[in-house]
């Protein structure tokens, strides 16, 4: 084989390898944190419709303990909406009416044994615990899954499993006294 033929064959081989490797569509790496909390992606993955192009919008400032939202997006779609709240009083979830605006976005909720008090629904959850900071005595985390069907009972178990891990991990990041 002549030198130009070898170069052409080698170039063809390199281009073939590039086309094959580019066509594999490497799976995106899951986030190690969601809204500033370390997360086991295997617990979060069943709650999101798509893990493509994951990114966040967050106004949460843990050091100032200011109530704020944090949203996990896949492209333009909202996958997980969190609200971080610091208050002087416990939220009293069990005493609230199902029509209370605080419970909006948590359909068909039931009590759960997480934190000091918790409710888990088919498309959301709210968990609260004592966490003394300069801004309040209680921390409450609300999770809403905008893509979740309120008719799908299986969502509740997935969400509870996620919140059992995510909520305590979040509290550890808050510098509670």
28 has a pLDDT exceeding 90: no
Largest CA distance in the chain: 86
- The separation between CA 15 and the C-alpha centre of its own chain, rounded to angstroms, equals 40
Strand partners, 83: 69, 142
105 has a pLDDT exceeding 90: no
Q: Which residue has the tokens 């509670």?
A: 176
pLDDT at 30: 85
Cβ(86)–Cβ(66) below 8 Å = yes
Contacts 24+ apart (CB under 8 A), 101-109: 102/126, 105/81, 105/142, 105/144, 106/142, 106/144, 107/150, 108/150, 108/156
Q: What are phi and psi of 21, to 5 degrees?
A: -70, -35
pLDDT at 2: 56
Cβ(80)–Cβ(72) below 8 Å = yes
137 has a pLDDT exceeding 90: yes
Q: How confident is the model at residue 97 (pLDDT cuts 50, 70, 90)?
A: confident
Enter the pTM of the model: 0.82
Cβ(113)–Cβ(119) below 8 Å = no
Which token pair is 28? 């995106």
Provide the mean pLDDT of the chain: 87
* Percentage of the residues of the chain whose pLDDT score is greater than 90: 69
pLDDT, tens only, 66-86: 899 999 999 999 999 999 999
pLDDT at 21: 42
Residue count of the chain, please give it: 177
Q: How confident is the model at residue 10 (pLDDT cuts 50, 70, 90)?
A: very low
Q: How confident is the model at residue 143 (pLDDT cuts 50, 70, 90)?
A: very high
The three-state DSSP-derived secondary structure of 30-62 is: CCCEECCEECCHHHHHHHCCCCCCEEEEECCEC
pLDDT, tens only, 148-173: 999 999 999 999 999 999 999 999 99
- In whole angstroms, what is the distance from residue 6 CA to residue 12 CA? 10
Q: 20 vs 157, which has greater pLDDT? A: 157
19 has a pLDDT exceeding 50: no
The mean per-residue pLDDT over the stretch 4-21 comes to 43
Which token pair is 9? 């064959």
């Amino acid at each position: 084989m002549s030198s130009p033929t070898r170069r052409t064959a080698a170039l063809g081989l390199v281009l073939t390898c590039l086309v094959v490797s580019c066509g594999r569509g490497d799976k995106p790496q899951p986030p190690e944190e969601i809204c500033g909390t370390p997360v086991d992606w295997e617990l979060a993955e069943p709650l999101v419709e798509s893990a493509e192009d994951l990114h966040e919008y967050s106004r949460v400032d843990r050091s100032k303990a200011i109530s704020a939202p944090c949203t996990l997006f896949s492209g333009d779609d909202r996958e997980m909406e969190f609200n971080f709240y610091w208050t002087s009083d416990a939220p009293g979830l069990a005493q609230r009416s199902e029509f209370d605006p605080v419970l909006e976005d948590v359909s068909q909720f039931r009590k759960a044994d997480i934190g000091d008090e918790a409710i888990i629904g088919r498309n959301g959850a709210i968990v609260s615990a004592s966490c003394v900071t300069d801004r309040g005595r209680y921390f409450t985390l609300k999770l809403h899954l905008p893509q979740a069907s309120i008719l799908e009972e299986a969502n509740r178990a997935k969400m509870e499993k996620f919140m059992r891990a995510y909520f305590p991990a979040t509290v550890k990041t808050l510098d509670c006294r």
